C-alpha cells in the first residue's frame, strides 16, 4: 500500500484532510506525524508526504517520490542543495489564491490611482477638501500595467486590468496561462519599465528574484508610476524602496509583503502619504482556500497512485 505522511506542524485543516484522504482514497495509507520523533520513525516508509523534509531527516526519505509543498512561496530554506538533488518530485498549491490576490492588487491600483489615501486623510480631519489629492489622477483605462510574474495571480490580474481598458505587459520566463498580456522574457524587464504606469510584482523569492527591485530599477520607472508588491517581500530592497518613495522617484506604492515582517513599528514607511500598507493579508479570511487546497491535494494523490503527471510541479533549482 502507498504511504502518505502528513508532516508537522499539524493543524485542524491537515487533520481533516487526512481523514478525507482516507475516505476518498482507501488504497492509500495516510499517516500523521505529530513531532520530529514520529517523522523519523515514519519517513523511511513514506512514498509521499505533505509538508517539509529537513536536511537532518532527508537521508531517511529513501522511498519518497512526491512531496506536496504547502506554500506557493515557501519560507527561506525550504529548498536546499540535498533536497534539490534528491529524486523526489515537489509540487505546490499555486493557482488556488489567484482571484483573491488579484482583487487585492486591484484594490491597491484603484486606491492609488484615484488618490484615496489623501481623501481618507481629509475625512479623518473632518475637512471638505476638494483639492486634497496631491498627485494627478491616473486613469487605469489607457494605462500600461507591467506584471512581473504571470502565473495564476498575474494572469488573473492581467484579465482584470485588460477588462478596465489597460494595456498589459507580462514578464515571465515560463508562462503557463492564457491571458490578455503581451508576454516578454525577464531580460526585457528594464526595457519595459519606463513605459509602465503601474508595476505589479507577484514573483516568489528565489535566488534570481532576491532584491531585484532596487534603487536602479526604481530609477527606471516613471515618476508618476505606482509600484505594487504582492509576491514576496525579499524581492524588494526595503531601504531603497523607501528612498524612491520619499524622494518621489516613483509616485507611490501598495505593499502587502516586506523584506522585514512584521514591518517594525518605527519604520518610516508607515508615515509616507503615498503608500498603502497591508500586513501580508491578501488571502486572509478567504473561506474557500482550505477546500481548494484539499481538492488540489486529492487530485495529485490520485494522479500519484495511477502514475499520471502531477499538477504544479516545481523546478526545485529555481524554487518555484
Query: pLDDT of 137-173, one tens digit each?
Result: 999 999 999 999 999 999 999 999 999 999 999 999 9
Domain with CATH 3.40.50.720 in the chain: 2-95+287-318, 98-277
Q: What is the pLDDT, as a whole number, of residue 73? A: 86
Mean pLDDT of 266-272: 97
Q: What residues contact residue 249 under an 8 Å CB cut-off, 6+ apart?
A: 218, 219, 221, 223, 243
pLDDT single digits (tens) 291-307: 999 999 999 999 999 99
Does the pLDDT of residue 233 top 90, yes or no? Answer: yes
| C-alpha distances in Å from residue 24, one per residue of 29, 137, 282 | 11, 53, 31
- Annotate 225-280 with DSSP letters as a single string: -EEEE-S-GGGB-HHHHHHHHHTTSSSEEEES--SSSSPPTT-GGGG-TTEEE--S
Confidence check: pLDDT of 79 > 90: yes
What percent of the chain is modeled with pLDDT above 70?
A: 100
pLDDT band at 136 (very low <50, low <70, confident <90, very high): confident
User: Is-cis flag, bond preceding 9, omega within 30?
Assistant: yes
pLDDT at 135: 84
Tell me which H or E stretch contains 275: strand 275-277
pLDDT-derived band at 176 (thresholds 50, 70, 90) equals: confident
State the average pLDDT over residues 37-59.
98
Lowest mean pLDDT among 72-81, 217-226, 237-246: 72-81
Instruction: Classify domain 2-95+287-318 by CATH architecture.
Output: 3-Layer(aba) Sandwich (3.40)
Active-site residue numbers?
232, 261, 280
CA atoms lying within 13 Å on the CB side of residue 9: 2
Q: Write out the three cell numbers for 108.
A: 491597491
What is the number of other CB atoms lying within 10 angstroms of the CB of residue 240?
A: 18
State the average pLDDT for the chain.
97
Mean pLDDT of 270-276: 96
Q: Is the pLDDT of residue 128 over 90?
A: yes
Beta strands 275-277; 28-32: pairing state: unpaired
Lowest mean pLDDT among 11-20, 68-77, 238-247: 68-77
State the pLDDT at residue 260.
96
Cell reading at 6: 502528513
User: Cα–Cα distances in Å, from 289 out to 78, 93, 96, 279, 298?
Assistant: 22, 10, 7, 19, 14
CATH 3.50.50.60 fits 98-277, yes or no: no
Residue 227 confidence (pLDDT) above 90: yes
Amino acid at each position: 500500500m502507498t504511504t502518505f505522511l502528513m508532516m508537522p506542524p499539524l493543524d485542524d485543516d491537515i487533520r481533516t484532510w487526512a481523514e478525507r484522504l482516507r475516505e476518498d482514497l482507501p488504497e492509500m495509507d495516510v499517516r500523521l506525524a505529530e513531532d520530529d520523533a514520529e517523522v523519523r520513525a515514519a519517513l523511511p516508509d513514506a512514498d509521499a508526504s505533505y509538508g517539509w523534509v529537513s536536511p537532518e531527516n532527508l537521508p531517511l526519505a529513501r522511498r519518497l517520490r512526491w512531496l506536496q509543498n504547502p506554500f506557493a512561496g515557501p519560507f527561506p530554506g525550504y529548498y536546499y542543495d540535498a533536497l534539490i538533488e534528491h529524486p523526489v518530485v515537489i509540487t505546490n498549491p499555486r493557482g488556488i489564491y489567484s482571484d483573491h490576490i488579484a482583487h487585492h492588487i486591484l484594490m491597491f491600483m484603484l486606491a492609488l490611482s484615484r488618490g484615496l489615501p489623501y481623501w481618507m486623510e481629509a475625512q479623518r480631519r473632518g475637512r471638505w477638501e476638494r483639492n486634497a489629492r496631491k498627485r494627478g489622477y491616473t486613469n487605469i483605462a489607457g494605462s500600461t500595467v507591467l506584471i512581473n510574474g504571470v502565473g495564476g495571480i498575474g494572469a488573473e490580474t492581467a484579465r482584470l486590468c485588460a477588462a478596465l481598458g489597460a494595456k498589459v505587459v507580462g514578464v515571465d520566463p515560463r508562462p503557463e496561462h492564457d491571458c490578455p498580456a503581451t508576454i516578454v522574457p525577464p531580460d526585457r524587464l528594464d526595457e519595459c519599465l519606463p513605459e509602465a504606469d503601474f508595476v505589479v510584482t507577484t514573483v516568489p523569492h528565489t535566488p534570481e528574484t532576491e532584491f531585484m527591485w532596487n534603487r536602479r530599477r526604481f530609477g527606471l520607472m516613471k515618476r508618476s508610476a505606482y509600484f505594487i508588491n504582492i509576491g514576496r517581500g525579499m524581492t524588494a530592497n526595503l531601504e531603497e524602496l523607501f528612498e524612491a518613495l520619499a524622494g518621489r522617484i516613483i509616485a507611490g506604492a501598495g505593499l502587502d509583503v516586506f523584506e522585514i515582517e512584521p514591518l517594525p513599528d518605527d519604520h518610516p514607511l508607515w508615515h509616507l502619504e503615498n503608500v498603502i500598507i497591508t500586513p501580508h493579508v491578501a488571502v486572509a479570511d478567504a473561506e474557500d482556500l482550505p477546500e481548494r487546497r484539499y481538492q488540489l491535494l486529492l487530485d495529485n494523490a490520485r494522479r500519484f497512485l495511477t502514475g499520471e503527471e502531477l499538477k504544479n510541479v516545481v523546478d526545485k533549482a529555481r524554487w518555484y
